[in-house]
Chains A and B, each alone.
Chain A
Amino acid sequence: MKLNRNAVGWLNVSPLLAVMVPFFIVPIIVVFIASIMQTDGFGGMFWDPSLENYSYIFKSDLTYRLYFETVKFAVLTLVFSAFIGFWVAHFLVFHVRSKLLAMGLFLVCTVPFWTSNIIRMISWIPLLGKEGLINRALIAMGAIQEPLEFLLYSDFAVVVAYVHQLTIFMIVPIFNSMARIDKRVVEAAVDAGASKFDIMRYIIVPMSKSGIALGAIFVVSIVMGDFFVVKVMSGGGTASVVGAFYEDIGVLQYPSAAASAIILTILVMLMVAAILRIVDIRKEITQ
């Protein structure tokens, strides 16, 4: 009479699976297979399964430095974007009284998202450069004599570019979860004598943690998987995990690149799993 509930579910997710299987599961398997193959030194691979590529990576000091750098950028970006995202969303939800104005300001925050990330990144060059606006302004004000070198082509520039690009991924989910907090709960807390800090600690942060977690997943996975911002904004001074194996590919060293890719993927999945352990995102967003 009626289709079984499970059958309907699977039928509806079948188009999704038709994409996920060939474009997510299979590629990961392919990369894994490549990672246990050997290079013939001329850009080709041959089948001689071993974990040599992995042991080589784990023996290299460079690996640990690369991972340290990449995780460092992920954590710094996460901290700054979460901080900015939280307070921007808090301002829009709890301090702007007109709903229409809040929506309008929210859109103002999201507009740059519709423009190219790469363009947004390079747009820092005329500002942060040695002859950029900031250095000129500081010199004109007499605050410094020599232009500040660390502004561009440095770790600082990398973090600035990441935060500039990714804070939106924090604002949207945090705004979403904060908007669902019943204002009367806050009023009840004020009536009960809660201070601003108590309200923040016991109401707003716990109730927006699903948004923070979702934003953290976006930010961590994007920074960990990126190499472009580091490459351009560090001026070549700093490398990244992905950047390193992209260079391997450039010289057709597929097996070692693949091994590095698998390790990175596992690390990212573990980081995301850790976030998901703290917050059951599925339950939170479908409720």
Chain B
Amino acid sequence: MTQLIDKSEKPKPDSVDYSAMPDEHGHFGIYGGIFASETLMQALDELRDAYEKIKTDEAFQKQFDEDLAQYVGRPSPLYFAERLTGQVGGAKIYLKREDLNHTGAHKINNTIGQGLLAKMMGKKRIIAETGAGQHGVASATVAARFGMECIVYMGAEDIVRQAPNVYRMKLLGAKVVAVESGSKTLKDALNEAMRDWVTNVDDTFYIIGTVAGPHPYPAMVRDFQTIIGREAKAQMQEQCGCLPDALVACIGGGSNAIGLFHPFLEDESVAMYGVEGGGLGVDSGKHAAPLCAGSPGVLHGNRTYLMEDENGQIIETHSVSAGLDYPGVGPEHAWLKDIGRANYVAATDDEALEAFHTLTRVEGIIPALESSHAVAYGMKLAATMKPEQRIIINLSGRGDKDINTIAKIEGIEL
């Protein structure tokens, strides 16, 4: 974490039409696109057409809004963290409480949307990949509610790290398949889910949990998640009569971050910080921070920043948080980085763990390890800002699922 407020040297574009992105083939500048095998193309075309239809379909949007309100429990509060602000001594810190959603994270916003779409397309079977298990739980939840079969692919290593969520998915009726290939984490689960989809394309809907994958996923998942930013904007207006000065969100694939950022992209005064998993430190090489320390490449159907070696092989990532342990990132973030609209930074495992404890003790809110990265950076950022300024940290999920991991790291037997 070197420059806290990065007034980047790159010129901020004067006239970027953020709402026009991506283009019809899913490109955000050079990023995004549809880099998928021919065997998937028909399914992607079908999905794109269905998605284009529901974007302007009033009945669908009404159902989506209703489900978010009555089932998910939205709007989620925008909470002024007064004690944390006092302790940090700087900008006022607000928390967007996605942890209070049904199932405990922002992931449900997207699975409700894709679940409704699956139902509309007449698909009977849902598949999903999951890292921390939050997206798997959110998918299993939606499948239970809609009476669909649900298969969740999860890296064998993540299954160990996130045992409570695995049990939760099973309780919800999902089948959890352990993925033993590659690094046995999120990226391998995604590979496996794609293989399932290619094989069972007729009756199966693949719910991708983040803003990655081939078009239309990055745009579609973003659009389902922008409820976060739209609410936060209105809530800040209502509470303070102004825009926030900065937004902070953690980034694995980047869905909670884009959900918060996107409705503010045209508000130039609002700075944005995406916080990647810094692992043992970006300089150590053991991290999950492709935007901070990776390079452009093609993986999982889109062009984006990747953690890769000089031969183009994807390298294993490290983060204490399973949800951030991914070697790529959503293509829109890659583009926002290049044009200088958003800043991408990292918080290390240790910083995240410290922030986890701080928030828990000072505000009585147990954050997910993923979200703890945003809290860690947000506190540092706030300390450099003036008391009349305001930042929103996206508290993307709650930390109950992580207590076993934390206890283990700290040598405590439960």
A binds B: no
Q: Which residues of A contact B (CB under 8 A)?
A: none
* Chain B residues close to A by CB (< 8 Å): none
